[in-house]
Amino acid sequence: MIPGHFTYHRPTTLADAVALMASLGDDARPLAGGHSLIPMMKLRLAAPEHLIDLRRIAALKGVRRDGDSFVIGAMTTQHDLLASDEIAAALPILQEAARLIADPQVRYMGTVGGNVANGDPGNDMPALMMTLGASYRLESTSRVRDVAAAEFYQGAYATALEPGEILTAITVPAPPAGHGHAYEKLKRKVGDYATAAAAVVLTMSGGRVASCRIGLTNLADTPLLAEAAAQAVIGTSLDAAALTRAAAAARAIMTPAGDGRGPPDYRSHVGGIMVQRALVRAAARAK
Ligand SMILES: Cc1cc2nc3c(=O)[nH]c(=O)nc-3n(C[C@H](O)[C@H](O)[C@H](O)COP(=O)(O)OP(=O)(O)OC[C@H]3O[C@@H](n4cnc5c(N)ncnc54)[C@H](O)[C@@H]3O)c2cc1C
């Protein structure tokens, strides 16, 4: 339960942080809220020689509007998201999901950037960001690039982040006014990671689904975008047959691990149910 030896760095500017990342190389890891990294270090599953604490870098915090999008600084905490009136009005699904992450103590410290950069399939924000069509800004001393959330996740704890890069912001296009949304998360107890979870953002027109995106959490090594499941409901009134087809299409891409949350068959089964519940609830909210 005691981490290995490390050197602690506390830069106050992004330029200093990326310079440290460049000079210290593979032995350095950014530290955000510490609520995934520190437990991993205590278990000796991670042993970075240098921790670069991002908490003093004011430029990485906060939410701002940029045209039709919202830019969420990587060091914005889950609590900050919950306190944001702008997020409440335009991206309520982020608040619905943040409320289901862990407990208030974790939400006060844990950051949106850390949640999406971590690469843990159990994290809730990545599937949401894929559903919303978000992109991540990655910065190093040599370049700045934007990577779509849908292209960022390569495997469990494997992401598109390259050595020396820090994820600095998440850009989320605002969904259309009147959209319906829902995040359905099955968990064993309050504060737990998902056994299975589904995010839905849709629009309705004349009683039929006009557009739809569906994301899945903890049902594979990476978060998933369930594109065939979304296609199965577009143009329908979300009748029972369409919901059955959507669940089947979503289950077809799930490859969950068997663990303390249940065997793979059970997790895929409840994953399909989460998709159906999220679709129904999102449609009921659409205007
Ligand atoms: C009891 C408990 C229950 C939890 N339950 C849930 C849950 O239900 N759902 C959920 O989603 N999460 C859950 N978490 C995890 C929590 O949300 C973490 O806060 C989150 O996974 C990581 O965010 P962080 O800011 O703490 O990052 P850290 O732990 O500081 O970092 C995580 C990883 O990301 C890297 N990193 C962090 N920031 C950046 C950046 N800006 N650029 C590049 N790399 C970066 C770090 O180097 C590290 O490898 C739980 C945690 C605990 C302790």
Q: What pLDDT, in 10s, does the model give residues 184-193?
A: 999 999 999 9
- Looking at the domain assignment, is residue 2 inside a domain? no
Where is the domain boundary, 148, 173, 198?
A: 173
CB distance 30 to ligand 1 below 6 Å: yes
pLDDT at 141 over 90: yes
Spatial separation of the C-alpha atoms in residues 27 and 118, rounded to whole Å: 17
Give the pLDDT score at 232: 98
Average pLDDT score over residue span 237-262: 97
CATH of residue 44's domain is: 3.30.43.10
- By most ligand atoms within 8 Å of CB, the mutation choice from 6, 14, 29, 37 for ligand 1 is 37
User: How many residues does the structure list for the chain?
Assistant: 287
Q: Could you read off the pLDDT of 84-93 as tens digits, one per residue?
A: 999 999 999 9
Among 155, 173, 191, the domain-final residue is 173
Average pLDDT value over all residues in the chain: 97
Pocket flag, ligand 1, residue 201 (CB < 6 Å): no
Q: Tens digits of per-residue pLDDT, 25-83?
A: 999 999 999 999 999 999 999 999 999 999 999 999 999 999 999 999 999 999 999 99
281 and 186 within one domain: yes
| Contact between 212 and 202 (Cβ < 8 Å) | yes
Classify burial at 57, counting beta carbons within 10 Å of its beta carbon; exposed 0-12, middle 13-18, buried 19 or more.
buried
Q: How far away, in angstroms, is 244 Cα from ligand 1 center?
A: 34
pLDDT above 80: residue 1: no
Q: Which domain holds residue 33?
A: 7-53
Q: Does residue 269 lie in a domain region?
A: yes
- On whether both 94 and 200 belong to a single domain, the answer is no
The domain boundary residue, chosen from 142, 173, 204: 173
Tokens for 220, please give them. 């594979």
What's the confidence (pLDDT) of residue 154? Answer: 98
Digit-coded pLDDT (tens) for 184-218? 999 999 999 999 999 999 999 999 999 999 999 99
CA of 142 to the centre of ligand 1 (A): 26
Structural domains in the chain (count): 3
**Quick one: 87 and 166 in the same domain?**
yes
